Amino acid sequence: MRSKIILLSVATVLFSFLHAFSEEKGLMEGLEGSITLDSKISNIAGNKAKFNEYRDIRDGFGAYGSIHADYDTENFLMNFKADDIGYDTQSYRLEGGIWGKFKTYFEYNQIPHNFTFHGRSFYSGVGEDNLTYPTHPPSSDISTWDEFDYSIERKRLGGGFNFEMLRPFYFDVSALREKRDGIFPLGAAGTTPGGIAIELPEPIDYTTDNIKLEAGYSKNPVFLSLGFLYSEFKNSNTNLNFRNPASGVQPNTDSLTLPPDNDYYKLAFKGAVRLPVRSKLNMNLGFSRAKADADLASSYVSTGITTITLSNPDFKGKIETQNYNFVLSSNPISFLDGKVFYKHYKTDNKSDEIITIDGANTYVNPLFDYKKDTYGLELGFRLPAHLYLSTGYNFIRTKREREDLPINRDNLYSAELRWSGWEFMLARIGYERLQRDATFRAPDVASSDPRIIETWVRRFDAAEQDRNTYTLSVDLFPVENLNFVIEYRHKDTDYKKTILGLEKERSDGVGVDADYIVGKFGRLFGYFAYERIKGDQFQRQLPFNATSGFDPSLPPTPSIFNWEVTEKDREFDYGIGTDIYVIPKKLTLTLKHDYVRSNGSADFTYLLGTNPLPAGRDQKNIDISFWDDYRLKLYMIKAVYNATNRLSFSVGYAYEKFKYNNAQYDGYQFVPATSGTNGAYLTGAYRDPSYSASVVFLGARYKF
């Protein structure tokens, strides 16, 4: 309430001051801007966190304001912006300087990320790093649990200075502090393998400080710059301590490690030089290092505390990264454009390798490294008949430190033909082909080891594939006030050597965008988009702790068999609207409607041969007909009245409705069971995000 009173007071004083003095000739020469005051009356039903996921529109009455001011003369400049004053989405920026000498700025902004309001937990002390456990076992009556909100608020405060008095040299310095506070849902296994799942409220108290320096030289034909970035991340909570409800044996205080403190720096050099034959060479070189320290847990909970032996209780992480890019572009003759480039990216993981001994088992954490080299050539040809042909080829080699698919070799071909023979039309047709080869490394384990299943698994992120993409678009402007854009896209991906995993994926998308100005009477606009995605998977079912039957070519049994699933997702959305100039330049009425709908499904087939399906199941009822389904509707009507050249008023109404349906959340229970693989203690995170909201808004704006 205090922030609203301040907002109203400031806006009233500024409005009166500007109204009184703006007519005095020369008094405010070079100053222009606006003051806006909006009030909203809202009625939100359903999930208020989802409605306000990244905004702050509260139930009931709210007053919002913004101030924009620009002062610009021959020598000086100043810009000030303040939006959503006093709310969780407020932002402020002040920028000023002397032309040709320096510029400086200060800024502050914040934004929420709301996940779920009114979550519940049987732990007390939510928001702290030590959760207090009730009497064992916890009550399944959620009315006795503590209530809290899953939400994170981000606040950013920063400023910078640009010094350009010694042209062609320049110097930039900036600093930024980002603070994140709140509670985030975190999942944990009560026991492993199998057993209950636990949802925990993770306390978020992060602080990130950045300092950025850059010095450079810019004078045709040369540009050079040297930059330095230092970033420090601090987490006030290093562990989340809690008692595990899976065990009644004391002591059994468990702990989850949270993001550790770390620091990062990067040194970068950028350069460009113009060359003969209308050519230019660009380069970008960089080196960075990230470091972190963390204390390792020396025990875990499994029917009491089990201790483990570590080669070092302190983990020191360090990753160095280097990248360099070179691009040579040229237009040697009028009908030919060319570009050749090389990009290199490589990590060097120098983190500790910790030996962990748990009874008879010994583990060593593998260190992940990544190297990627890209070689490319692009050529553009200006052809007769108003045609322009763009062609490209990239060869990309990626090497990763991973067990299954360590190396990829990609050949990427592309071509686009553009025609501009008519003044009222621009047409484009394109094609892209990706051929990915992958080096596969089979696991070196005994045939009875469950890891032998990896022999047939190909994970789609790095699996061998052929992908074809076709695009078509037409821009039409048959008359001066009418614009049309029509687009179509088809993509087909074949994971040709995959046995277990994603085998194929296909998608089609079409879009239309239109805008028409109806003389002095108004404007019509709208869009339409439709996309269909289909993916096919082939997988294998095995019983827990299986020691045989891993080969998918073996005949099926009632408990060991292959299965397949076809996943489909269809998204349909459109929007229409109009601006009606009821009284030209005086009264404008805006009507708008948006609609988005997504339907997903999963069609399962158990390949059991003559074996029966498990009791109660058939090939129909194992399918999922609602898989990430949602609908979003929005209606808005708004009228703007320009009382004078400086003063305008607005009034309007908006209605928004979101409906979500997903099999994963159907029949949601906080405690579906207290033991077994279906057991869980949940907190309500992401539960039932559906909502509807009505908002009436009034506003006034004064320009000066």
What pLDDT digit, counting tens, does each position of 587-637 carry? 999 999 999 999 999 999 999 999 999 889 999 999 999 889 999 999 999
Tell me the C-alpha distance between 227 and 267, whole Å.
Answer: 6
- The answer to whether 471 and 488 have CB atoms below 8 angstroms apart is yes
Q: How far is CA 473 from CA 387, 415, 470, 606, in A?
A: 15, 14, 10, 42
Task: Show the 3-state SS of 395-460.
Answer: EEEEEECCCCCCEEEEEEEEEEEEEEEECCEEEEEEEEEEEEEEECCCCCCCCCCHHHHHHCECCC
- The answer to whether 28 and 21 have CB atoms below 8 angstroms apart is yes
Pairing relation of β-strands 680-681 and 197-219?
Answer: parallel
477: three-class secondary structure by DSSP: coil
**In the structure, what pLDDT confidence band is assigned to residue 16 with cuts at 50, 70 and 90?**
very low
Residue 249: what pLDDT?
A: 77
pLDDT at residue 20 greater than cutoff 80: no
Q: What is the pLDDT of residues 315-347, one digit of tens each?
A: 999 999 999 999 999 999 999 999 999 999 999
Q: What is the pLDDT of residues 232-284, one digit of tens each?
A: 999 999 999 999 888 777 777 888 999 999 999 999 999 999 999 999 999 99
pLDDT at residue 8 greater than cutoff 60: no
> CB count, 10 Å around CB of 503?
20
Tokens at 16, concatenated: 């009166």
**In the structure, what pLDDT confidence band is assigned to residue 545 with cuts at 50, 70 and 90?**
confident
* H-helix segments, 550-704: none
Q: What is the pLDDT of residues 431-468, one digit of tens each?
A: 999 999 999 999 999 999 999 999 999 999 999 999 99
Calculate mean pLDDT across residues 421-425. Answer: 92
Q: What is the pLDDT of residues 178-219, one digit of tens each?
A: 999 999 999 988 877 778 899 999 999 999 999 999 999 999
Task: Show the 3-state SS of 156-217.
Answer: EEEEEEEECCCCCEEEEEEEEEEEEEEEEEEEEECCCCCCCEEEEEEEEEEEEEEEEEEEEE
pLDDT at residue 3 greater than cutoff 80: no
Closest C-alpha among 416, 363, 372 to residue 395: 372
pLDDT at residue 393 greater than cutoff 50: yes
**Is the peptide bond prior to 251 cis by the omega test (within 30 degrees of 0)?**
yes
Pseudo-torsion of CA 135, 137, 140, 145, nearest 10°? 30
- The answer to whether 67 and 37 have CB atoms below 8 angstroms apart is no
**In the structure, what pLDDT confidence band is assigned to residue 27 with cuts at 50, 70 and 90?**
very low
Tokens at 538, concatenated: 């082939």
**In the structure, what pLDDT confidence band is assigned to residue 28 with cuts at 50, 70 and 90?**
low
**In the structure, what pLDDT confidence band is assigned to residue 695 with cuts at 50, 70 and 90?**
very high
pLDDT at residue 534 greater than cutoff 80: yes
CA end-to-end span of the chain: 28
Tokens at 341, concatenated: 């480039």
Arithmetic mean of pLDDT over the chain: 93
Pairing relation of β-strands 501-518 and 482-494?
Answer: antiparallel
pLDDT at residue 672 greater than cutoff 80: yes
Q: What is the pLDDT of residues 66-93, one digit of tens each?
A: 999 999 888 889 999 999 998 999 999 9
Residue type, 416: E
Q: How many residues does the chain have?
A: 704
Residue 248: what pLDDT?
A: 79
Residue 15: what pLDDT?
A: 46
Q: How far is CA 587 from CA 36, 579, 582, 700, in A?
A: 18, 10, 6, 14
> CB count, 10 Å around CB of 38?
16
Dump strand ranges (E) for 495-560: 501-518, 522-541
pLDDT at residue 58 greater than cutoff 70: yes
Closest C-alpha among 199, 50, 187, 42 to residue 112: 50
Tell me the C-alpha distance between 318 and 251, whole Å.
Answer: 35
Tell me the C-alpha distance between 324 and 405, whole Å.
Answer: 25
Residue 4: what pLDDT?
A: 47
Q: What is the pLDDT of residues 497-525, one digit of tens each?
A: 999 999 999 999 999 999 999 988 999 99
Which residues, including other chains, have CB under 8 Å from residue 366's CB and lie 6 or more apart?
Answer: 401
Tell me the C-alpha distance between 551 and 559, whole Å.
Answer: 14
Tell me the C-alpha distance between 498 and 509, whole Å.
Answer: 26
Residue 17: what pLDDT?
A: 43
Residue 293: what pLDDT?
A: 94
- The answer to whether 76 and 96 have CB atoms below 8 angstroms apart is yes
Calculate mean pLDDT across residues 386-412. Answer: 97
Closest C-alpha among 148, 252, 158 to residue 204: 148
Report CA 372 to chain centroid distance, whole Å: 23
pTM to 2 decimal places: 0.88
Calculate mean pLDDT across residues 638-648. Answer: 96
pLDDT at residue 11 greater than cutoff 50: no
Tell me the C-alpha distance between 12 and 3, whole Å.
Answer: 14
Tell me the C-alpha distance between 590 and 98, whole Å.
Answer: 41
Q: Which residue has the tokens 């009028």?
A: 334
Residue 254: what pLDDT?
A: 86
Tokens at 401, concatenated: 């430190």
Calculate mean pLDDT across residues 378-390. Answer: 97
Which residues, including other chains, have CB under 8 Å from residue 440's CB and lie 6 or more apart?
Answer: 404, 405, 458, 497
Tell me the C-alpha distance between 676 and 674, whole Å.
Answer: 7
Tell me the C-alpha distance between 171 and 165, whole Å.
Answer: 9
Pairing relation of β-strands 336-349 and 355-358?
Answer: unpaired
